[in-house]
């Protein structure tokens, strides 16, 4: 029996954990939850430890121990998992051990499982918060963005971890440098048209983001985030090696050709294009496994039930976004310099080396991560809800929603996840949780395709409610796809000199947006959000949907400004009679800095939309679909790039009739581009109005557990306010 703490020893002993040797249930005198709650000097942490023992045993598929009072046939009180040879002691070699890596002291370092999904360390033990997670692990995951090099280097020096700056660096730098240089590579070296090269770039970046949905599902359901990242990194390296070979092989290069004012070069054939395109898509597959899982795994390093870690976790996505922008800065400066001063083969070879270094950095942080075990196929669970609801189409949902079927434990029936409150929309799906005669008490008795828990139903509702918001966000990234490719072509006709001896490469024009974005982050964090907090009373300042909506308004403004700049460029072209001249054959006496206002607006757009989306898709996804939720963000980017291709093709086919040429080909320098910008501004304005409707009716996710007496509150409402803008 563990003696109760006496008043003199409370302060010094209250943080001690139940040790294995102390946890000896003897007859009916062992600790019971209701017994310790009656003690005048019992600390909330002691009550928490008792609840946690119960949760750990239930989570590990052991015999439930309701109230910790029921005894088994041996009188031990802990069911079948007590070693009969150990006089009632706990088994010490279990895979899940709530004591964590350092047994013997209850100091709050074990992960809280009442209101948090199960998190373990690299050995499968419940994670010790002192040694895993937080920034000590997030640095390893965010290291692939070179932007963090100075901060991360200081962190590494203090903590003697010299490998913590690589993985996210390599993904951002490599993928961005390939995407930005692809238009130049395709037009200059492979002699493709601007429209076709733009489509290649859009398809590549779109595929890289689209594959994130597949990998997000695999990570949540089967492999877990760690092994998903490890597997996709190998594919990533294979694609980079193939692309490097294709770019450096003389047999895969078209004949040398120089375009003139009146003629262009013949494009490269299938023999040359096939290995390059295959390599690009292999890289896209690998990158799709790195991007959503690193962001989700990084956010999981912070316990959102602990005030200190929760405060750090709220800022995680801001730092993640800042890291991406600084990675873009490196990609648009150093990597562009390599491609222009050396060759594309040197660029891709550098990317291959960085990715290998990133893989080594990722493995080096293995012992620092917190791991969430995979929770099984979310798609299967959602299909079960649909089938069960369809089978009960004629069953009436009770007015008392507490009668709907739900797990009796404090965690949900879905492995390692928390329970969700019932929500009053899409009520047809609630039929899946209605218990008919013979089904009461157990989903296993009825079968998972006939009876589902409320949390399982809410998981499907959550995904369905996110979809309308997600669809409206896709058009935002049409702007990024178009601006990043079309403005490069515009910049090729402008004066890009800075001083007498330096000329800005066309693909480096995006650096204006990156620099402005990085500079605007402190303004956003230190000035705008505090003002918004005081104005709205919302601790976040602006809700995720309000941030997204603000960005969508600014996208429309960016198109209008781009149209104004194009009007100025068009006047210069027409005054010189260059309307039919190919891009790259002339330079106007118009400084490239005319494009800076466009990039400035897009930079602010990205601050609002990207941070808002990252937070929205992570927070609103359920515990068992976090990687899939983050994949929604990257999938919106992907669909945006594919939509950009569809928009280009539609515009070309509809405006290229009567032999005049399309807006982006035959009339690129003759008013077509300006008309294109006005068209996109109208599309974005309509998209924003649709977004307003969906955002007005959206309700944020709520978490729920059964007991109402938890010290941290049993109803954890993540976002209770109306999401209306």
User: Using 50, 70 and 90 to split pLDDT, how confident is the model at 68?
Assistant: very low
155-213 pLDDT per residue, tens: 332 232 333 345 777 788 888 888 878 888 888 888 787 778 878 887 888 788 788 88
Average pLDDT over residues 609-636: 81
User: Using 50, 70 and 90 to split pLDDT, how confident is the model at 257?
Assistant: confident
Query: Is the pLDDT at 691 greater than 90, yes or no?
Result: yes
Point out the domain boundary residue: 326, 347, 374.
Answer: 374
96-121 pLDDT per residue, tens: 332 223 333 334 333 333 344 455 55
Backbone angles phi, psi at 699, to 5 degrees: -125, 135
**Looking at the structure, do residues 287 and 398 belong to the same domain, yes or no?**
no
Are the CB atoms for 296 and 118 separated by under 8 Å? Answer: no
**Looking at the structure, do residues 633 and 709 belong to the same domain, yes or no?**
yes
Query: Is the pLDDT at 279 greater than 90, yes or no?
Result: yes
Instruction: Say how many Å lie between the first and final Cα of the chain, rounded.
Output: 57
The answer to the question of residue 117 being in a domain is: no
User: Using 50, 70 and 90 to split pLDDT, how confident is the model at 27?
Assistant: very low
| pLDDT computed for residue 118 by the predictor | 55
Of residues 218, 200, 203, 140, the one with CA closest to residue 631: 218
**Looking at the structure, do residues 315 and 352 belong to the same domain, yes or no?**
yes
**Looking at the structure, do residues 220 and 367 belong to the same domain, yes or no?**
yes
The answer to the question of residue 163 being in a domain is: yes
| pLDDT computed for residue 260 by the predictor | 66
Query: Where is pLDDT greater, at 265 or 142?
Result: 265
The range of the structural domain enclosing residue 392 comes to: 378-461
216-242 pLDDT per residue, tens: 888 888 888 888 888 999 999 999 999
Give the C-alpha separation, 605 to 476, whole Å: 9
Q: Which residues contact 65 (CB under 8 A, 6 or more apart)?
A: 53, 54, 57, 58, 77, 78, 79
Average pLDDT over residues 621-625: 78
| pLDDT computed for residue 490 by the predictor | 84
The answer to the question of residue 103 being in a domain is: no
Identify how many contiguous H helices and E strands the chain contains and give both numbers.
23, 0
| pLDDT computed for residue 557 by the predictor | 92
**Looking at the structure, do residues 159 and 273 belong to the same domain, yes or no?**
yes
The answer to the question of residue 120 being in a domain is: no
Average pLDDT over residues 509-535: 80
The answer to the question of residue 118 being in a domain is: no
Query: Where is pLDDT greater, at 557 or 54?
Result: 557
Residue with token string 């402190």: 522
Give the C-alpha separation, 98 to 379, whole Å: 30
User: Using 50, 70 and 90 to split pLDDT, how confident is the model at 77?
Assistant: very low
User: Using 50, 70 and 90 to split pLDDT, how confident is the model at 84?
Assistant: very low
Are the CB atoms for 122 and 363 separated by under 8 Å? Answer: no
User: Using 50, 70 and 90 to split pLDDT, how confident is the model at 687?
Assistant: very high
697-725 pLDDT per residue, tens: 888 776 554 343 333 333 333 333 333 33
Helix extents (H) in 475-576:
476-491, 511-523, 529-536, 544-575
**Looking at the structure, do residues 333 and 382 belong to the same domain, yes or no?**
no
Of residues 640, 617, 620, 623, the one with CA closest to residue 209: 640
The answer to the question of residue 217 being in a domain is: yes
Query: Is the pLDDT at 692 greater than 90, yes or no?
Result: yes
| pLDDT computed for residue 119 by the predictor | 54
Q: What is the CATH number of the domain that holds 595?
A: 1.20.1250.20
| pLDDT computed for residue 253 by the predictor | 81
Of residues 407, 429, 427, 425, the one with CA closest to residue 417: 407
Give the C-alpha separation, 229 to 374, whole Å: 14
**Looking at the structure, do residues 450 and 508 belong to the same domain, yes or no?**
no
Point out the domain boundary residue: 331, 356, 374.
Answer: 374
Full-model pTM: 0.64
Are the CB atoms for 552 and 476 separated by under 8 Å? Answer: yes
Query: Is the pLDDT at 401 greater than 90, yes or no?
Result: no
Query: Where is pLDDT greater, at 682 or 340?
Result: 682
CA dihedral (229, 56, 304, 724) in degrees, to 10, reads 90
Residue with token string 């966000």: 473
Query: Is the pLDDT at 90 greater than 70, yes or no?
Result: no
33-62 pLDDT per residue, tens: 343 333 333 343 444 444 444 444 444 444
448-487 pLDDT per residue, tens: 888 888 888 988 898 888 889 988 888 888 877 777 678 7
Out of 46-55, 164-173, 247-256, 393-402, least confident range? 46-55
Name the domain count of the chain.
4
Mean pLDDT for the chain? 70
The answer to the question of residue 95 being in a domain is: no
Query: Is the pLDDT at 362 greater than 50, yes or no?
Result: yes
> CA dist 218 to 171, 212, 289, Å?
20, 10, 9
Average pLDDT over residues 48-77: 40
Are the CB atoms for 114 and 410 separated by under 8 Å? Answer: yes
Out of 10-14, 344-348, 586-590, 636-640, least confident range? 10-14
**Looking at the structure, do residues 439 and 478 belong to the same domain, yes or no?**
no
**Looking at the structure, do residues 602 and 514 belong to the same domain, yes or no?**
yes
**Looking at the structure, do residues 339 and 407 belong to the same domain, yes or no?**
no
**Looking at the structure, do residues 523 and 384 belong to the same domain, yes or no?**
no
**Looking at the structure, do residues 344 and 437 belong to the same domain, yes or no?**
no
Point out the domain boundary residue: 340, 374, 408.
Answer: 374
DSSP 62-90: ----GGGT---TTS-SSGGGB-GGGTTPB
């Amino acid at each position: 029996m563990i003696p109760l703490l006496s008043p003199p020893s409370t302060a010094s002993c209250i943080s001690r954990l139940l040790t294995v040797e102390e946890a000896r249930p003897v007859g009916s005198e062992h600790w019971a939850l209701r017994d310790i709650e009656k003690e005048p000097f019992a600390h909330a942490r002691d009550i928490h430890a008792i609840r946690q023992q119960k949760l750990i045993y239930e989570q590990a598929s052991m015999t439930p121990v309701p109230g910790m009072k029921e005894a088994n046939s041996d009188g031990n009180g802990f069911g079948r998992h007590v070693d009969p040879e150990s006089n009632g002691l706990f088994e010490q070699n279990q895979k899940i051990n709530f004591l964590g890596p350092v047994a013997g002291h209850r100091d709050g370092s074990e992960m809280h499982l009442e209101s948090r999904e199960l998190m373990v360390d690299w050995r499968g033990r419940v994670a010790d918060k002192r040694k895993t997670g937080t920034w000590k692990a997030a640095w390893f995951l965010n290291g692939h963005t070179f932007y963090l090099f100075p901060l991360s280097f200081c962190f590494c020096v203090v903590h003697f971890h010299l490998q913590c700056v690589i993985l996210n660096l390599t993904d951002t730098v490599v993928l961005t440098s390939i995407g930005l240089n692809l238009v130049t590579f395709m037009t200059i070296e492979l002699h493709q048209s601007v429209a076709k090269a733009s489509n290649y770039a859009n398809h590549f970046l779109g595929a890289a983001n689209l594959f994130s949905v597949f990998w997000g599902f695999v990570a949540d359901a089967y492999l877990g985030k760690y092994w998903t990242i490890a597997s996709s990194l190998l594919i990533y390296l294979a694609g980079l090696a193939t692309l490097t070979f294709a770019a450096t092989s003389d047999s895969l290069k078209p004949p040398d050709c120089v375009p003139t004012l009146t003629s262009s070069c013949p494009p490269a054939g299938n023999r040359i294009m096939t290995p390059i395109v295959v390599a690009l898509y292999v890289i896209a597959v690998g990158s799709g496994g790195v991007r959503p899982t690193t962001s989700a795994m990084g956010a999981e390093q912070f316990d959102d039930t602990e005030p200190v870690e929760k405060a750090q976790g709220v800022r995680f996505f801001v730092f993640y976004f800042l890291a991406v922008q600084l990675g873009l800065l490196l990609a648009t400066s150093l990597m562009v310099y390599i491609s222009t001063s050396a060759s594309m083969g040197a660029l891709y070879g550098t990317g291959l080396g960085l990715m290998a270094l990133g893989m080594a950095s990722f493995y080096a942080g293995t012992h620092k991560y917190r791991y969430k075990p995979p929770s099984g196929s979310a798609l299967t669970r959602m299909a079960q809800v649909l089938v069960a609801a369809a089978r009960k189409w004629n069953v009436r949902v009770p007015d008392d929603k507490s009668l709907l079927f739900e797990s009796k434990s404090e965690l949900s029936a879905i492995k390692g996840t928390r329970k969700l409150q019932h929500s009053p929309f899409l009520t047809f799906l609630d039929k899946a949780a209605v218990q008919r005669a013979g089904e009461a008490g157990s989903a296993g008795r009825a079968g998972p395709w006939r009876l589902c828990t409320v949390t399982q139903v809410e998981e499907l509702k959550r995904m369905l409610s996110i979809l309308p918001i997600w669809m409206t966000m896709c058009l935002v990234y049409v702007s990024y796809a178009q601006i990043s490719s079309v403005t490069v072509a515009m910049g090729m006709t402008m004066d890009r000199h800075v001083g007498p001896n330096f000329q800005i490469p066309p693909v480096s024009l995006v650096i204006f947006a990156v620099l402005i974005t990085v500079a605007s982050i402190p303004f956003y964090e230190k000035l705008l959000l505090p003002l918004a907090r005081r104005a709205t009373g919302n601790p976040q300042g602006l809700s995720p949907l309000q941030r997204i909506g603000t960005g969508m308004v600014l996208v429309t403004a960016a198109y209008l400004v781009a149209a104004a700049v194009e009007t100025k460029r068009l006047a210069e072209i027409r005054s010189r009679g260059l309307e039919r001249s190919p891009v790259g054959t002339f330079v106007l006496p118009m400084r490239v800095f005319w494009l800076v206002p466009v990039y400035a607006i897009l930079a602010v757009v990205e601050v609002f939309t990207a941070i808002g989306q990252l937070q929205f898709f992570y927070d609103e996804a359920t515990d068992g679909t976090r990687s899939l939720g983050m994949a929604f963000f990257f999938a919106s980017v992907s669909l945006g790039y594919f939509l950009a291709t569809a928009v280009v093709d539609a515009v070309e086919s509809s405006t290229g009739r009567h032999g005049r040429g399309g807006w982006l080909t035959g009339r690129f320098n003759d008013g077509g581009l300006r008309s294109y910008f006005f068209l996109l501004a109208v599309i974005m304005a309509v998209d924003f109005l649709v977004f307003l409707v969906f955002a007005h009716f959206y309700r944020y996710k709520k978490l729920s557990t059964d007991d109402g007496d938890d010290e941290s509150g049993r109803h954890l409402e993540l976002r209770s306010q109306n999401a209306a803008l």
